[in-house]
Amino acid sequence: MKILIFALSGIGDALMFTPSIKFLRDAYPEAQIDAMVMFAGVRDIYKRNKYLDNVFYFDFLKQGAVKSLFYLLKFRKKYDVSVNVYPSNRKEYNLFSFFVGAKKRCAVDYLRKNRENLAFLNNVKVQEDDCLHNVEENIRLCEKLSGKKCGEIPGLEFFLEKEDNEFAEEYLRELKIDKGDLVIGFHPGSATLKNHINRRWEPEKFSSLGRRLIKELGAKVLIFGGPEERDLKNQVAEGIASEDAFTVEAKSLASSAAVMKRCSIFISNDSSLMHVASALKLNVIAVIGPTNPAYIYPWQTNHKIVTLSLPCAPCFYYSPRPLICYRTDVQFKCVKEISVDMVMDAAREMMGSRRQG
């Protein structure tokens, strides 16, 4: 059997499918299991995944429709099964899977904008459940395909290599971060497509939090983010204005993840690095605004969710429409009015639980 996984959405979504990759390998030990990705960070994760045979990387967004079509032609009629990673509620993803032509085409049936996105092109489906985590949705889909039960669902997996860890050791040595230092990681960024930039807690609040963590807890703060978030990271660091705050510049997502392993606590928006932190089994504080926490809470790691739990939240669901706030008082109040005190209290509580542990 040959299985092709379409992991065309972001880093976090790809990581939340890794328990299903292991499940598929256990269910089909002799199968060829390949993945198709379109983000370099996802390639970093999947290239290191020992349960995959091949990872194909192609930037469909930049290459356009004609080149994308010719690229997909190389895979036509070569697979028995294709699987669209949840969430992937876009007609393009369903068309890709249909065009490749596997006899079994697996995807979740979405509660919203399902037919408009051509979900009828798939023939192995499970109904979306808003109460389930993304990991659980993916596992249910793979159980439907295999006819087998998963049992206990494993954690997220990001396999780091020797060179990743060597980079981190040297990098931390250059920053003069010692073994006994309390290190707290920040990710002030998030995805920006479809107005998702409005899921971010303000950078000024990250700066204020950083100053307090350094002054009150004696912490050293590492600020993470991708190349496109360099200005944001610098803004947060300049706002902290301390020699104990550092922006992390790593050569890849994997080397950045190796540095993240040194963090005692990782404080993040609803973002890809929040899920990387979960895969690394870090203590995670997640600042959540419009997203349903049931979908994306840090999976199988010690964590705290900081949210206002407004009556209008959650308002973000998996559909192609941009993120919109209908409030008339404060736009995106659910994240903008989360205070520094709330996150600081969560950090103190987590420090207390770490000491007791």
Write the CA distances from 236 to 124, 131, 177, 211, 310, integer angstroms.
46, 34, 20, 10, 27
Given this model, what pLDDT does residue 353 score? Answer: 62
Given this model, what pLDDT does residue 270 score? Answer: 94
111 & 227 share domain: no
Given this model, what pLDDT does residue 181 score? Answer: 96
119 & 245 share domain: no
Write the CA distances from 156 to 71, 109, 188, integer angstroms.
30, 23, 22
Given this model, what pLDDT does residue 354 score? Answer: 56
Show which of 97, 115, 146 is a domain's final residue: 146
179 & 263 share domain: yes
115 & 170 share domain: no
Strand partners, 113: none
Q: In what order do the strands lie in the sheet with 220-223?
A: 245-247, 220-223, 183-187, 265-269, 283-287, 303-306
Instruction: For the chain of 357 residues, list the mean pLDDT of each consecutive stretch of 10.
Output: 96 97 98 97 97 97 92 96 95 95 97 92 96 97 97 95 97 95 97 88 98 97 96 98 97 96 97 97 97 94 96 84 88 96 97 63
200 & 345 share domain: yes
Given this model, what pLDDT does residue 355 score? Answer: 55
176 & 316 share domain: yes
Write the CA distances from 85 to 5, 144, 296, integer angstroms.
7, 14, 14
d(CA 248, CA 226): 9
Concatenating the DSSP letter of every residue in 293-327 gives HHHHSPTTS-EEEE----TT---B-SSSSPP----
Helix, strand, coil percentages for the chain (3-state, nearest 5): 45, 15, 40
d(CA 155, CA 284): 15
Residue range of the domain that includes 261? 162-356
79 & 209 share domain: no
Given this model, what pLDDT does residue 193 score? Answer: 82
130 & 178 share domain: no
What is the domain-level CATH number for residue 69?
3.40.50.2000
168 & 317 share domain: yes
Domains identified in the chain, total number: 2
Burial class (CB in 10 A: 0-12, 13-18, 19+), 297: buried
Show which of 93, 116, 146 is a domain's final residue: 146
d(CA 8, CA 5): 9
